[in-house]
Amino acid sequence: MTEFLQQLINGVAWGSIYALIALGYTMVYGVLRLINFAHGDVYMVGAMAGFYLTRWLGWGGQADSLHFILILLASMLICGLLGFIIERAAYRPLRNRSKLTALITAIGVSLLLENGGQVIFGADPKFFPTLIENKPIFQSGGLIITNIQLIIIVVSLVLMTALQYVIFQTKTGRAMRAVSFSHDASRLMGIDIDAVISWTFVVGSMLAAAAGILVGLSNPKIEPLMGLLPGLKAFVAAVLGGVGNIPGAVLGALILGISETMVSGYLSSTYRDAIAFVLLVVILLFKPAGLLGKAVPEKV
Amino acid sequence: MTHFRSVLNCFNLLVVAPILVGVLAVGCQGGGSGTGGSGEPKKSGGGASTGPIKIGHFASMTGGTANFGQSCDKGARLAIQEINAAGGVLGRPVELITEDDRSQSTEARTSALKLIQQDKVVALIGEVASSNSIAAAPVAQQAQIPMVSPASTNPEVTEKGDYIFRICFIDPFQGEVMAKFGYNSLGKKSAAIFTDVKSAYSVGLAKYFKETFTQLGGTITAEEAYSAKDIEFKAQLTKIRGTNPEILFVPGYYEEVGLIARQARELGLSAVMLGGDGWDSPKTMEVGGAAIEGAYFSNHYASDDPNPVIQDFIIKFKAAHGGEVPDAMAVLGYDVLRLVVDAIGRAGSTEGPKIRDALAATKDFPGVSGSITIDALRNARKALVVLKIENGALKFAERVEP
């Protein structure tokens, strides 16, 4: 029982990281109907930005939670800017072309970031500085929760709540929802579509950066290709929950994180990635629009 | 594993295949070197009869095991400098051509092919990771270019053909020694094994450790697996923790070991960690930090060994690399290059088959990592040292003769 609870905690912490990445995917898809394959690499840039900022500021030696928050915010800003630039330079010029063109561009941007990252940062793995000392905060009969696991879950919750607030309570959020329904109708209502789409990319990329920093904190080894697999898994999570649906992305990510942990813990880690994709196929067989997604009839 | 990857792989194939075909075609035009076999003896082995003698090094200069390739290359380049300063071999200077395989086995194969066909090297050195050596070995064997691995310890490497050699001990020995070390020297009776299933080295080493440990009377409480590049190991470690092992044997590479140690300690798993020569990199201590303290691993050499040969080498290496203490891969890179050049000298020729015969006849070659004698299976019989991680540094713990 203790072991099961421990695995559950491991799974929730891991799933929260997927959730932060999945939110960016789902937002961009919701607004643009574009699968932004470069999103996982923005997460990598987030972790790298944290690594270099800490080194540049000379904060690597001591653990300090104020430093952690500053690095987290700075890295989110940098990635927000990166998201803005990616959208402006790579996707906007192709907005009115076919969906396939944008998709291939997304793969191109992803490869550019991965290989550019190898050139700029070097391909060898880096040790992410200890901004917060990892220590158990709850311990009872073999059940251990570390402060970092708690921080991951709390930061994820805070960011998700903030996102929920932005989308449902602010004018920009309302504009985002409007754009996700129809570009043309939104434009007729006087919404600046370009600005809304830029904002979507900025916010999504900021969430990815936060995930990058949190991963650096809990699994302190980062490298330029680190975004490849988590990016794909987060995409799976977004589809699982119903792509375009924000609570769905979180739900999908948690299911994915927990099931991966359980498969590794009770079956074999060799099947872990296979299970993630089997899960996707099974859920889509029964709920083609994802767990929380609404099936929308195709307009003719 | 995913559509996306396989799309990329197809892309690689599409781009790489024509290049390879081109390379092969050029290689064949260039006098049938390698592919033909006996052919004209003058041209066999590729190298011209004047100018520098070329030796190829395919190595992981970037990627997951970049530390291995870079260290090995530094060692080999130091050897080259000394050899050329002393007049080279057969009256000609020696040139080392390094090709980066990005720590990937498919790339290792391509790199070896390029070195043989395009650069016309007379011998190959490489790789450190066994999976990469196994991938490249058939290429060298087919071209009749001797290939000497500095540090691949999986037995299968030299089984690929009679042109494939190594200058290090093999995993059955390494696994056996670590099992005995844990059982006898540390007095621990139970062990859990955590293997990197993607690496031939890790799987082999785990197997030999298990054999010896159970023969001695110890119990294996759990056998779990991870894959290279993973960063999350808590699920498997939680499972291992439930079986209460006294030893956690992790026969993996340095890239993951530090993280595994951290996560094991976070979960309160207090077993002593043991490992193999794949741990040998400063990254193990850098990532592992306090969590990896008190762990032991087997290696090819200890930098605090008082042996004057080793201390002299360390002084030379430090002078050439700004005070950096050489790791085992640097020592083996130095040794492997000197051995290959020595064999070329003894062969009196740059032809593949003659260098091969000279390599096979190597006896008591004085290497920094110990005296090297090549046995009938083209492996080296060499002593092994067990190192302990203490205060972020490596301390000599035990020396085991074969």
**Residue B48: predicted pLDDT:** 58
Give span(s): CATH 3.40.50.2300, chain B.
Answer: 52-169+312-382, 171-299
Give the residue from A2, A8, A221 with the most B CB atoms within 10 Å of its CB, the best one to mutate: A221
Average pLDDT of the segment spanning A10-39: 89
Q: Which residue spans within A105-169 are E strands per DSSP?
A: 126-127, 136-140, 143-146
**Residue A280: predicted pLDDT:** 83
Any CB–CB contact under 8 A between A37 and chain B? yes
Nearest C-alpha of chain B: how many angstroms from A137? 11
Any CB–CB contact under 8 A between A284 and chain B? no
Any CB–CB contact under 8 A between B9 and chain A? no
Nearest C-alpha of chain B: how many angstroms from A123? 5
**Residue A125: predicted pLDDT:** 84
B52-169+312-382 CATH pick, 3.40.50.300, 3.30.1180.10, 3.30.2320.30, 3.40.50.2300: 3.40.50.2300
Cα R_g (chain B), whole angstroms: 21
Query: What percentage of residues in chain A have a pLDDT greater than 70?
Result: 98
Nearest C-alpha of chain A: how many angstroms from B338? 28
Whether B62 sits inside 8 A of A7 (CB atoms) is no
Residues in chain B, total: 402
For residues A248 and A293, is the Cβ–Cβ distance under 8 A? Answer: yes
Residue B306 token pair: 């008082």
Residue A71 token pair: 């690095």
Q: For A202-220, how does the pLDDT look when each residue is reduced to its tens digit (9 = 90+)? A: 999 999 999 999 999 988 8
Give the residue from B3, B238, B286 with the most A CB atoms within 10 Å of its CB, the best one to mutate: B238
Q: Which residues of B touch A239 (CB under 8 A)?
A: none
Kindly provide the ipTM of the predicted complex, given to two decimals: 0.86
How many of the other CB atoms lie within 10 Å of CB of A203? 25
Q: For A95-117, how does the pLDDT look when each residue is reduced to its tens digit (9 = 90+)? A: 888 888 988 999 999 999 999 99
Q: Which residues of A touch B224 (CB under 8 A)?
A: 269
pLDDT classification of A40: cutoffs 50, 70, 90: very high
Longest dimension (CA), chain B: 66
**Helix H or strand E encompassing B170:** none
Q: For B52-102, how does the pLDDT look when each residue is reduced to its tens digit (9 = 90+)? A: 999 999 999 988 888 899 999 999 999 999 999 999 999 999 999 999 998
Q: Measured between alpha carbons, how far is A261 from A280 in angstroms, rounded to an integer? A: 16
Handedness of CA B31, B36, B39, B41 (dihedral sign): positive
What CATH number has the domain spanning B171-299? 3.40.50.2300
Q: Are β-strands B94-100 and B123-125 bridged in parallel, bridged antiparallel, or unpaired?
A: unpaired
CB pairs under 8 A between A and B: 97
A69 Cβ partners below 8 Å, 6+ apart? none
The full set of domain ranges for chain A reads: 14-232
Nearest chain A residue to B223 by CA distance is A268
Q: Which residues of B touch A10 (CB under 8 A)?
A: 232, 234-235, 238
pLDDT string in tens for chain B (402-residue length): 444 444 444 444 444 444 444 444 444 443 333 343 343 444 444 455 778 999 999 999 988 888 899 999 999 999 999 999 999 999 999 999 999 998 899 999 999 999 999 999 999 998 999 999 999 999 999 999 999 999 999 999 999 999 999 999 999 999 999 999 999 999 999 999 999 998 888 999 999 999 999 999 999 999 999 998 889 999 999 999 999 999 999 999 988 999 999 999 989 899 999 999 999 888 899 889 889 999 999 999 898 888 899 999 999 999 999 888 899 999 999 999 999 999 999 999 999 999 999 999 999 999 999 889 999 999 998 889 999 999 988 999 988 887
Average pLDDT of the segment spanning A26-43: 88
Any CB–CB contact under 8 A between A157 and chain B? no
Q: Measured between alpha carbons, how far is B329 from B126 in angstroms, rounded to an integer? A: 11
